Structure 1
Amino acid sequence: MPTETNVYSRNLKVISLFFIIYWLLGLHPQDNVLSLGTVRFNIDDPRWLPYIANGLLLYFAWRFFIHSRKKVSSSYTSFLRYEMLNRKHKFWCKKLTESAEKDFANNGKFEDFQKLNANDFFDKLKPEQCRISLPSLSNSNTPIKFGYRYIASVPSNLEGRPSNVKTGSYIFKFNYLLRTTLNLHMITLWLLFNEDSADYLIPWVLFFIAVFSIFIRCDEYSISTTLVAQCKNC
């Protein structure tokens, strides 16, 4: 079995699993006795047990938060950037390129590109003659974060092209529904195939389930401790 290298992740997962198992199996202290290995302790005041356990859960969550904050989002954006840079998903690459080309031709970006290169050649130029490239799909030197930005240029083999052509960089709005679907698709792949998801996301999922189990069982525990106290006074 591989060794867990992230101790903060391991600690939060283990204590959260204890809470979840305790809740699902309906476990409870027996005769106010606490066992630590072979050593058994009688508990005179079991009311403090939930506070101690909850305090430990919150402590491990706080330690994990200090260690892993922002790492989930940075891990996912790096994964998305890598997947798209290597063009592993032709459908999404095609949709992104088409969206950038439409933005360039229809939203005034082509006119801005013409003004940037004030020249008779550009007065006769058509949008489809320009080359649209997305750095996030083609340039490994771009920042790690995936960006909806494209660069407009003129192919060097285009007849009559001047030697001092400037390139234009523009941001485009990707269709909201497609953008949401793209991220859902990539998040699913990240969860299934990226090791970071186990280290940084699953501990938080287990933690919130553990917190949920606390609220589910708090009333039940209050009733059981009251009954124990009444029995002791009988």
Structure 2
Amino acid sequence: MSDPLAPVVETAVRCGLKSCHHCGSVWEGAAEGEPCARCATKLHSRKPDTFNRTWAYLIAAAILYLPANMLPVMITKSLFGTQQDTILSGVIYFWVSGAYGLAALIFVASFLVPLFKLTALTLLTYLSQRGSDWRQLERAKLYRILEVIGRWSMLDVFVVALLAGLVRIHGFAEITAGFGIAAFGAVVVLTMLASLSFDPRSTWDVRDAPAPEASAEDEMKRSGETA
């Protein structure tokens, strides 16, 4: 339920405006699905089927998140044998080796960022689908933060690819990517698709929004008509 004391946010939908997703032009009184007069792109007040598509991507990403962290992402073959490393075991290896900065960077970018993005998108989607007015401004800012940090989620994939290329060139050992890196890459891609499918404008759609209060002039007109 919405807070009856919360102020009503004046949105483009309440004003009868629709913006074009392609060229950015704004049209007044345009019908849903009507082509844009400038670029012929169909106009929508909100992304079609935004919640269903976002939930589908989030559920798939959550399912793959466990194998992405449990399966090996890097397999090292050397004269001393074969070693399989997961994301967390790689972080521990770098930390024990004294590379604290690299260990912290991989831990944040490859473990915390995907988890944070999954949790935040789930919260944003759930509250927007309910039409909640809880901390709308903070939720809008949270979505912007997700857009900024999401690009760093592929760092672990880049590290494995770089190490594989460098080690093979020097010939000291052979490093190959494990099945975990495929699951991890799928998690990153799915969360990116979920972020693109989610319409941040739905944050401002309050389901039980109170009707705007009538002005004194409107009340005088109504009283005159009833008289």
Structure with bigger RCO (C-alpha 8 Å, 6+ apart): 2
- Please confirm whether the aligned pair reaches a TM-score higher than 0.5, indicating the same fold: no
Q: TM-score, normalised by structure 2?
A: 0.33
Q: TM-score, normalised by structure 1?
A: 0.32
